[in-house]
Amino acid sequence: MPIDSTTWYDRDPDPASIYQGDLLVDVPVVLMPPAGDGPWIVLRPSLPLTLEDALAGNVPKIFRPHAENAPLVEAWGGQQELVLAKGIKTPVLVVTQTCDIERRRFIHVAPVYGIEGFDQRKIESLTANEIQYWFYLPDHLPLRPTKQFADLSQIVPVHNSYLRRARRLERLTPLATTELQKKLASFHGRPFGFNTRDAVPQEGDYLCARCFYVRAQITRRAIAAGQQFPACEQCGADVLWVKFVPLNPAG
C-alpha cells in the first residue's frame, strides 16, 4: 500500500472535535532531561510565596534554581517538586483514543520530528512504516513540505486545555488511523520473549510461545545459559522463547 498524502490524510475533517490521529501545532510538551552525573535542578519561588503556593498555581515574580542537594532546599520533601526541564513546541500526533479525549484531563500525544540528517536507508525504512516506534507522516504540500514522523517512544501526557488552543494541520484517514492503532498495539502490546538474536540469561526449560499461539502446540526445550537462543524446530528463526516456570515447583 503506497503511503502518501492522498491515502493518509482526511480531505474534509470535522473541525469541531479532536480525534485520535490529529496532527496539531502549538501544543507544548515537556521531556524529562537525562539524569547525567549531577543533581536535579529544583525551582523555588521568590518570597513571600512558598513552594506550596507555587505548586497550587500562584506564580511568583521569579523562580530561583537550586541543586536538589543544596543546603536548606529540602528537595522532594513532599510528593511534588518544581524542576527545570526541557519544553518544546513541536507538532504532535494525538494518540489517545477519540472516544476518551473529551472525558480525560490528560491526553497522550507523540512529538513529531523531521527527517533531516537521515541516510537513504533510514528514509526508506521510515517511508515504508517499518520502524516499530516511529509512525510515518508523509509530506503534504503546501502545509508540510517535508517528510516527518511521530516518535511513539516519546509519548507524553498534556492537559486537555492545551488541545483546545491548538491548530490542526492534518487528520488521519480511517485507513491511516487503523495503521496507527496497529503500530501502537505492536509497540506496547507485543508478546515478550527471546529470539535467535538474544543470549540465554538463565539455564532452564523454555517454551516456544509462537508454537502455542499459531499451532496450539507445546514445544519445550532445555537451554543452557551463555549461548544464543536456538531456532525452533517448527518456527525457525521466528521463534519466541519464554522461560517455563512451574506453578508448583515442589510438586
Estimate to the nearest angstrom the gap between the alpha carbon of 57 and the chain centroid.
28
Alpha-carbon distance of 240 to 197, in angstroms, equals: 11
User: What are the pLDDT digits (tens) for 29-88?
Assistant: 998 877 777 788 999 999 999 999 999 989 999 999 999 889 888 888 888 889 888 888
Contact 195, 241 (CB under 8 A): yes
Q: Does the pLDDT value for residue 248 go beyond 70? A: no
Beta bridge partners of 172: 9
Contact 57, 49 (CB under 8 A): no
CATH number listed for the domain at residues 5-30+87-189? 2.30.30.110
Q: Does the pLDDT value for residue 176 go beyond 90? A: yes
Comparing C-alpha atoms, which of 93, 87, 140 is closest to residue 113?
A: 93
Contact 228, 196 (CB under 8 A): yes
Provide the residue ranges of all domains of the chain, joining segments of one domain with +: 5-30+87-189, 192-251
Report which of residues 229 and 190 the model is more confident about.
Answer: 229
Q: Does the pLDDT value for residue 221 go beyond 90? A: yes
- Residue 186: pLDDT band (50, 70, 90) is confident
State the chain's mean pLDDT as an integer.
Answer: 89
User: What are the pLDDT digits (tens) for 110-123?
Assistant: 999 998 889 999 99
Q: Does the pLDDT value for residue 251 go beyond 50? A: no
- Eight-state DSSP code of residue 244: -
Report which of residues 35 and 200 the model is more confident about.
Answer: 200
Please give the radius of gyration of the chain, using alpha carbons only, rounded to the nearest integer.
Answer: 24
Contact 115, 137 (CB under 8 A): no
Alpha-carbon distance of 147 to 141, in angstroms, equals: 10
Mean pLDDT for 90-99 is 93
- Residue 181: pLDDT band (50, 70, 90) is very high
Contact 82, 54 (CB under 8 A): yes
Handedness of CA 73, 76, 79, 81 (dihedral sign): positive
Beta bridge partners of 100: none
pLDDT at 77: 84
HSE-CB at 55 with a 13 A cutoff on CA atoms is 13
Cell of 2: 503506497
pLDDT at 249: 56
Comparing C-alpha atoms, which of 230, 239, 182 is closest to residue 208?
A: 239
pLDDT at 192: 83
Contact 139, 145 (CB under 8 A): yes
pLDDT at 100: 92
